[in-house]
Structure 1
Amino acid sequence: MNPLTGRWRIMSMSAWEDDFLDEEVEAYIEFDNKGWGHFHFGNVQGQMDCRQTTRDGEPAVEWSWDGNAEMDAAQGRGWAVIRDGELHGMIFFHGGDDSEFVAKKAKAKMGK
């Protein structure tokens, strides 16, 4: 199984305050095993078209995304790599902001 697959809890982002991250839901980024993913932080959410790769020999993923921010259409790209058991990456908004992020693997819920 790909170590990136599953839900990751976004713990911090360089462009936004921590209290913004969980404004609507507990901030997350999630990858499935079919090349798709989703994320939601603050009032930003998107669907990702992902490609598995490596960076410096570590499992990594790159993606384009389409979604919304405060009800406005938003698109962009991003990447992430596993370092010391954490997911470190960048998310970019087309023509706008970008942010580094750090996420930790979410704990499995009961029954899963």
Structure 2
Amino acid sequence: MTEIDDPDHAGVAGTWHITDMEMWDEDYFNRQVQAYIRIQERGTGSFQFGFVSGSIDGYIEECGSGPRFRFTWEGRDEMDPVTGGGWLEPGTGEEAEGMIKFHQGDRSRFTARKAS
């Protein structure tokens, strides 16, 4: 995999609403707010689903299927500090799929739609 220097992060910059998660149902992941991942043009950002929220630091890499935004994150699960990693891969149109992982813990694939 090759890291790409792309100021718009290959179309991933913006807010993505999480629409489905493999490990958690919609009642949980939208409990406090509409679950989201927000990526800024410099590769930083934030996310929240359920009671988990954090800040993101990432970059674009070229994978076999195209560009993928790979990130690490740190934040909180309720009151507990947590860290992890993940990725977001734009699909066709305004859809994307990805994965978020807790360090030494759960991981979940997810789908998302770019907010208007």
Q: Which runs of 5+ in 1 are unaligned?
A: 108-112
Name the residue aligned to 2:5: none
Q: Give aligned pairs, total.
A: 107
Of residues 73, 97, 101, the one that matches 2:106 is: 97
Of residues 30, 36, 44, the one that matches 1:28 is: 36
RMSD of aligned alpha carbons:
1.1
Amino acid in structure 2 at the alignment position of 1:77:
G
Structure 2 length-normalised TM: 0.87
Structure 1 length-normalised TM: 0.90
Give the Cα–Cα distance (whole angstroms) in 2 for the partners of residues 57 and 17 of structure 1: 28
Amino acid in structure 1 at the alignment position of 2:109:
E
1:88 aligns with 2:100: no
1:30-69 matched pairs, under 5 angstroms: 30-69=38-77
Q: Is the 8 A contact 1:45 1:67 kept in 2?
A: yes
Give the Cα–Cα distance (whole angstroms) in 1 for the partners of residues 63 and 24 of structure 2: 26
Shift of residue 57 of structure 1? 4.4
Q: Is the 8 A contact 1:14 1:100 kept in 2?
A: yes
Shift of residue 83 of structure 1? 1.6
Shift of residue 55 of structure 1? 2.3
Amino acid in structure 2 at the alignment position of 1:92:
K
